[in-house]
Amino acid sequence: MKRKTAYLPLHYGKAPSYLFERMVRLAGAMTQLIVEEYGPDEMLRRLSDPWWFQAFGCVLGFDWHSSGLTTVCCGALKEAQKRYGDIGIFVAGGKGGESRKTPEEIARIADRLAINAAESLMRTSRLVAKVDSAALQDGFALYHHCFFFTASGSWCVIQQGMNETTRYARRYHWLGESTKNFVCNPHAAIDDLSEEMEGHLLQSEIDKNRQPPAKSILLNMIAGEAEQSRQTCSELARENPQKTFNLISEILCGPTLFAPARHTISSTDIRLINLKALHKAILSAYERDPKDFQSLLETPQVGPATIRSLALVAELLFGVPICRKDPIEDFPKQVNGRRWADYAFAHGGKDGIPYPIDRVSYDRNIGILEETIRKAKLGYIEKKDALKRLARIAQSSLST
C-alpha cells in the first residue's frame, strides 16, 4: 500500500468567502486538466503524495503550512465536484461529522452514476479510518476523512489527526492502486513538515514540535515487527469471550493500560476504562470469528481500547511484544531540491504570507484554465499545448 504522512501545525479560522470561491474554481479547473491529460487515476496519485498536495494547497492560496490547508483544499475539491458535476473524480467525506457520513455519500454517488464498486469503496473507507484510529495509536486523534474515487473504482484517501498536546496535526495519505495489505507495514513515506519551517520558528519551538508521541502511549499494530502481536490478538478474539475478558480485567488493575514515567497525576490517569463497552466488543469479535487481524479490525464495536487491551494480554501473558515505534522513524526526510512552500508565491496566502492574495492574478489564471477546458471540450488543443510548453520551459529554468 502506498501511504504517506505529513506533520502540520494547527491553525484556527477558515478561508474567507472571497478566497474559497476562487479555490473551488481553480481546484476544479486544475483537476479537470490533469484528468483530461493524464486520466483520473493520475489525479488520485497526486492527491496521495503529501508534497504535491501541500504545493497544490499553496497554489490555491491557503496558509502554506497550516493544518487547515488539508480540510479547506479537500472541501474545495468536494464543492467543485458538486458544482461542476464531472471533474473526473468524486469526493466524499470531510471534517468532523462530515467524515462519518462518507459511506453514505459514496453510496449516493455510486447509485446516481451506476458505479458497481460501491460496497467495496464503502468498506475501504471504514477500514482505512479504523486502521489509523485503532491499529495505529500514535497520539493523533482523527477528525478529517476525505475519500476520492473514480467511476472505475480506483480510490485514495486523505485523513488527518490532531495531537492536543503538541498542537500539531498529522496527515495520512492512502492510494488504492498499490494496496497489498491494510494492516502490515503500509507506509511508503512520512514527511515531517516542521523542517520546512526552520526559517520561521525559533529552534526551541521546532524541537518542541518535533517531540514524538510518548512510548508508553504509542501502539503501532501495523508495523512489520507487530506481525506476531496481530496474530495473537485475532487468536484471543476467537477464544471464549468471558475468559478473554477476565484476563483483560485482571491486567487492568489500575485506571490505565500503560503507566507513565512521571509521578504526578493528571485527569487522564483517573479516566476509567469502560469495561462494559469492552466486554461487548470482545463478545462481538468472538461472534464474528475473525480469521485475521484485518477481520478483527472490521468488527463494528472493536476500537482502540479493544485492540490495546488484546495487545497487552498478548504481551504480558504470552510474551508477544507490543510495537511502540512511531512509524515516522522509518522514513528520513527526503529533499528533492524543491520546497512546496515556493508555490505559495503563485497567488499569495490567506494570512498575507508571503503576500496578500493577488486577486487580479488569481482571477486571470482561473480564466485561462477555464477557457482551456472549454476549448478542449470543443476539440481545440492549441491553448493546452501552449500551457504544456510553458510548463516545460519553467521546469528547465528551475533545473539550470
- Is the pLDDT reported for residue 234 higher than 70? yes
Of 119-123, 184-188, 361-365, give the lowest mean pLDDT range.
Answer: 184-188
Query: Going by DSSP bridges, is the β-strand pair 168-175/219-220 parallel, antiparallel, or unpaired?
Result: unpaired
d(C-alpha 376, C-alpha 390), whole Å: 17
pLDDT tens for 150-186 read: 999 999 999 988 888 877 888 889 999 987 899 987 6
pLDDT tens-place string over residues 50-63: 888 988 988 998 76
The length of the chain is 400
Of the pLDDT bands very low, low, confident and very high (cuts 50, 70, 90), residue 21 is very high
Taking only the tens place, the pLDDT of each residue in 69-100 is 889 999 999 999 999 888 999 999 999 999 99
Return the pLDDT at 178.
Answer: 82
Residue in the block written with cell 485506571: 255
Choose the weakest-confidence range: 54-63, 276-285, 344-353, 357-366: 344-353
**Region 196-201: what's the mean pLDDT?**
42
Can you give the pLDDT at residue 174?
A: 92
Q: Is the pLDDT of residue 262 over 70?
A: no
Summarize the confidence of residues 269-296 as an average pLDDT: 85
